């Protein structure tokens, strides 16, 4: 595996401008010994089940990332379709973003505003962004279909990128993205919501592009009906959330497989079971993690982050890469607390040098310092958190068992 911090490009809308405020502070919890996670069942079949795999991705160099396959069709067609493999499964963003090069001959319907083509600049905390048109497709995932789904087609050649407001580095190729697309199944329906519906939008995210040559694009509002949105929200029944199910991993593995199960409490195979609900702040989509007697009120769970990202007073960093390298596996514990709900977490941190040297795709205990503004105290529970736990992500504004949405849930240990 490549020795680089591939921490997933987190949405500026999700964890950038809105990342303020604390709630649900609790009594601290520091280091401790590991305990046994409750028995885990990985759902294998069902119309609401889609296989996922941690396998290194299309470039065979993306550690701790879960990928799946989707089918994208021209709206209204069941034959003009393209299967797209190696799509990153991401509970930290909302909406489907697909490389234009992966669509093959499939043609999608262009979304418009005031008769002009609509494009999006989807920015990330690391200074990168996705650029491309918003187009409408029918998208099949497992046995579920999202009809008339607005998606972003990643294409730097679409129009002229407005460099004054869409700044940073585009990541719109397979080599740069490490995937053929991103499937955002996080806790919101729309990727900008009311922040982009006003005449003067709060974010420079959506753009109207002229049809002249060369075309120009200017910041625009975007109605909810044309915003890129979480495909789960358009499913007929299983539309209130998702469960990511991956097996336990104690040593590096070349490949592991699991399931993405749609819906929470809507079928016999997606009940909450022993999971404890941790409700998140409905605006900032965060909760509080208490670790080493420190409170981290800007914490979140994100399958698209390829490690656990947090600051520690006790862990030693590697000498040659910005990850943790304890000499022996560190058995640690923390507590997550939301507006309601508290759940413990026992987790391990392993030596990153050893993990990367294995050359494998599934690296348990991969962790690194958060590396963000010190004023922002966060614990990013990335993909290693999902190993051996069935992790639930509910969608805001829906009804789901166990609490008020949006929430995360998992069996505490």
User: How confident is the model over 244-260, as pLDDT tens digits?
Assistant: 999 999 999 999 999 99
| Whether residue 406 sits in one domain with residue 365 | yes
What is the value of pTM for the model shown? 0.91
Confidence of residue 5 (pLDDT cuts 50, 70, 90): very low
Q: Averaged over 369-389, what is the pLDDT?
A: 86
Looking at the fold, whether 139 and 54 belong to one and the same domain comes out as: yes
* 222 and 363 assigned to the same domain: no
Asked if 306 and 208 sit in the same domain, the reply is: no
What distance in Å separates the CA atoms of residue 401 and residue 411, rounded to the nearest whole number?
15
73 is in which domain, residue-wise? 49-234
CATH number of domain containing 345? 2.40.70
Does the residue 260 lie in any domain?
no
pLDDT tens-digit readout, 303-337: 999 999 999 999 999 998 889 999 999 999 999 99
Burial label, 114 (beta-carbon count in 10 A; 0-12, 13-18, 19+): exposed
In the structure, what pLDDT confidence band is assigned to residue 126 with cuts at 50, 70 and 90?
confident
Q: How would you label 254-276 residue by residue, b for 16+ Cβ within 10 Å and e otherwise?
A: eebbbbbbbbbbbbebbebeebb
- Whether 258 is in a domain gets the answer no
Same domain for 205 and 122: yes
- Regarding beta strands 276-279 and 287-291, do their DSSP bridges make them parallel or antiparallel, or are they unpaired? unpaired
Question: Quick one: 188 and 302 in the same domain?
Answer: no
Q: Domain check: are 226 and 138 in the same one?
A: yes
Tell me the C-alpha distance between 413 and 344, whole Å.
Answer: 6
Q: State whether 202 and 282 are in the same domain.
A: no
Q: Report pLDDT digits (tens) over 33-89.
A: 344 556 789 999 999 999 999 999 999 999 999 999 999 999 999 999 999 999 999
Number of structural domains found in the chain: 2
Closest-CA residue to 17 (of 244, 373, 284): 284
Task: Flag whether 250 is in a domain.
Answer: no
Residue with structure tokens 């991993």?
Answer: 249
- State whether 96 and 181 are in the same domain: yes
Determine, yes or no, domain membership for 6.
Answer: no
Q: Is 188 in the same domain as 305?
A: no
In the chain the first and final C-alpha atoms are separated, in Å, by 30
Q: Are 304 and 90 in contact (CB under 8 A)?
A: yes
Give mean pLDDT, residues 164-188: 96
Claim to verify: residue 64 and residue 209 sit in the same structural domain:
yes
Q: How far apart are CA 191 and CA 216, in angstroms?
A: 23
Q: What is the pLDDT of residue 211?
A: 87
């Amino acid at each position: 595996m490549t020795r680089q911090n591939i921490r997933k490009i987190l949405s500026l809308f999700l964890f950038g401008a809105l990342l303020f405020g604390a709630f649900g502070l609790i009594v601290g919890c520091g280091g401790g010994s590991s305990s046994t996670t409750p028995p885990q069942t990985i759902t294998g079949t069902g119309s609401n089940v889609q296989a996922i795999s941690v396998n290194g991705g299309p470039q065979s160099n993306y550690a701790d990332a879960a990928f799946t396959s989707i089918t994208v069709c021209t709206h209204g067609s069941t034959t003009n379709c393209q299967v797209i493999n190696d799509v990153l499964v991401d509970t930290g963003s909302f909406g489907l973003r697909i490389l234009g090069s992966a669509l093959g001959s499939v043609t999608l319907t262009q979304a418009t505003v005031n008769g002009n083509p609509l494009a999006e600049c989807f920015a990330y905390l690391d200074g990168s962004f996705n650029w491309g048109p918003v187009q409408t497709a029918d998208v099949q995932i497992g046995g579920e279909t999202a009809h008339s789904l607005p998606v972003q087609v990643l294409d730097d050649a679409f129009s002229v990128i407005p460099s004054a407001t869409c700044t940073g580095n585009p990541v719109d190729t397979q080599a740069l993205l490490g995937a053929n697309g991103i499937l955002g199944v996080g806790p919101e329906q729309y990727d900008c919501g009311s922040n982009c519906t006003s005449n003067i939008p709060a974010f420079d995210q959506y753009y109207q592009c002229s049809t002249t040559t060369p075309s120009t694009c200017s910041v625009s509002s975007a109605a909810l009906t044309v915003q890129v949105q979480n495909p789960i929200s358009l499913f007929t029944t299983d539309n209130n959330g998702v469960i990511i199910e991956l097996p336990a991993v104690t040593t590096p593995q070349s490949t592991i497989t699991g399931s993405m199960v749609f819906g929470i409490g809507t079928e016999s195979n997606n009940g909450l079971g022993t999971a404890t609900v941790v409700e998140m702040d409905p605006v900032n989509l965060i909760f509080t993690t208490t670790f080493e007697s420190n409170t981290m009120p800007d914490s979140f769970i994100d399958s698209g982050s390829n490690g656990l990202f947090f600051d520690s007073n006790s862990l030693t960093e590697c000498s040659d890469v910005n990850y943790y390298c304890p000499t022996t596996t560190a058995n640690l514990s923390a507590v997550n607390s939301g507006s309601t709900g508290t759940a413990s977490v026992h987790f391990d941190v392993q030596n990153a040098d050893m993990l990367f040297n294995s050359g494998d795709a599934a690296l348990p205990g991969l962790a690194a310092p958060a590396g963000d503004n010190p004023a922002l105290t966060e614990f990013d529970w990335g993909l290693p958190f999902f190993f051996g736990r069935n992790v639930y992500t509910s969608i805001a504004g829906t009804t789901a068992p166990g609490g008020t949405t949006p929430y995360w849930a998992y069996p505490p240990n």
